[in-house]
């Protein structure tokens, strides 16, 4: 990330001093005798104790820095379960924000599937049991879209491709058979992993492969996540990747106070 540490967190300074409303960003706030910050902006009018605001911002900061909940609870002197609950709620909100903001992908699109979690024993790769199968589409030099899939069937993948890309798109995939009818939808380049010479010039899926390693690096900290919760963790990773050049902490703050905080 290009931004310095100080720069990243400076956006919270006015919130922490009780000079700016955490909900609407208005500077028309006043402090009450009981240590509450009250917003005087029309249509907002919310209030919250400054102590509480500071605690919640510290938790969002911990989430941004991917601090384990137990460590953060120790650092903040706050209940472990509270932190876990807040983390989970931020993740849910990110899930919805990510799904809402993602339109169709533009330009050239790389696609691939990857396998997360599960035990190493038994079948690996396609058809492996107990693993989370993820289908990913990446717009070159742009954003990624991921989806947990059940069987990696042609129907399943094509439905997502139709939803997330436009007809006539240039696609890059490997030689997996579920992509067999893709040429009817756009221009399809297939790469054979076994043939090194296939990777030439634009003929590669390095972008989506780069995303898989980014995702695995982050999700390694969350190993042991249940199948039920996995899609939420995955969307968090997608969101972090798609906003890698933005101030993520600032975005998390607005998601938290926009959707989670009462």
Give the footprint of Zn ion on this chain (CB under 5 A).
Answer: 21, 23-24, 26, 39, 41, 44
CB 152 within 8 A of CB 179: no
**Distance (Å, whole) CA 210 – CA 215:** 9
Residue 50 CB-half CA count within 13 A: 18
**Distance (Å, whole) CA 237 – CA 219:** 8
**Distance (Å, whole) CA 55 – CA 59:** 6
User: Among residues 19 and 229, whose Cβ is nearest to Zn ion?
Assistant: 19
User: Among residues 21 and 60, whose Cβ is nearest to Zn ion?
Assistant: 21
In whole angstroms, the minimum distance from the beta carbon of 44 to Zn ion comes to 3
In whole angstroms, the minimum distance from the beta carbon of 25 to Zn ion comes to 7
In whole angstroms, the minimum distance from the beta carbon of 261 to Zn ion comes to 12
User: Among residues 21 and 90, whose Cβ is nearest to Zn ion?
Assistant: 21
**Distance (Å, whole) CA 16 – CA 61:** 12
**Distance (Å, whole) CA 236 – CA 13:** 25
Task: Find where tokens 């240039």 sit.
Answer: 170
**Distance (Å, whole) CA 43 – CA 205:** 48
238 phi and psi angles, rounded to 5 deg: -60, -45
In whole angstroms, the minimum distance from the beta carbon of 10 to Zn ion comes to 20
CB 174 within 8 A of CB 156: no
User: Among residues 73 and 261, whose Cβ is nearest to Zn ion?
Assistant: 261
Joined tokens for residue 201: 């010039």
User: Among residues 25 and 118, whose Cβ is nearest to Zn ion?
Assistant: 25
User: Among residues 21 and 57, whose Cβ is nearest to Zn ion?
Assistant: 21
């Amino acid at each position: 990330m290009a931004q310095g540490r100080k720069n990243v967190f400076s956006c919270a300074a006015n919130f922490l001093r009780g000079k700016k409303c955490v909900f609407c960003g208005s500077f028309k706030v006043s402090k009450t005798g009981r240590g509450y910050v009250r917003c005087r902006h029309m249509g907002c009018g919310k209030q919250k104790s400054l102590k509480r605001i500071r605690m919640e911002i510290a938790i969002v900061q911990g989430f941004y820095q991917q601090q384990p909940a137990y460590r953060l609870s120790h650092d903040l002197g706050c209940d472990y379960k509270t932190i876990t609950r807040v983390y989970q709620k931020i993740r849910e909100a990110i899930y919805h924000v990510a799904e809402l903001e993602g339109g169709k992908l533009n330009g050239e699109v790389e696609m691939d599937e990857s396998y997360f979690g599960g035990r190493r024993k038994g079948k690996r790769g396609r058809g492996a049991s107990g693993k989370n199968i993820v289908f990913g589409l990446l717009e070159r030099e742009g954003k990624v879209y991921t989806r947990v899939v059940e069987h990696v069937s042609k129907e399943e993948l094509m439905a997502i491709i139709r939803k997330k890309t436009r007809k006539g798109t240039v696609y890059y995939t490997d030689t997996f058979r579920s992509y067999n009818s893709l040429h009817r939808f756009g221009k399809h380049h297939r790469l054979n992993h076994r043939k090194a010479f296939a990777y030439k010039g634009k003929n590669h899926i390095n972008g989506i492969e780069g995303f898989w390693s980014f995702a695995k690096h982050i999700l390694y900290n969350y190993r042991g996540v249940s199948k039920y919760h996995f899609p939420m963790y995955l969307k968090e990773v997608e969101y972090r990747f798609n906003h890698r050049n933005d101030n993520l902490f600032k975005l998390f703050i607005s998601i938290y106070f926009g959707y989670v905080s009462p």
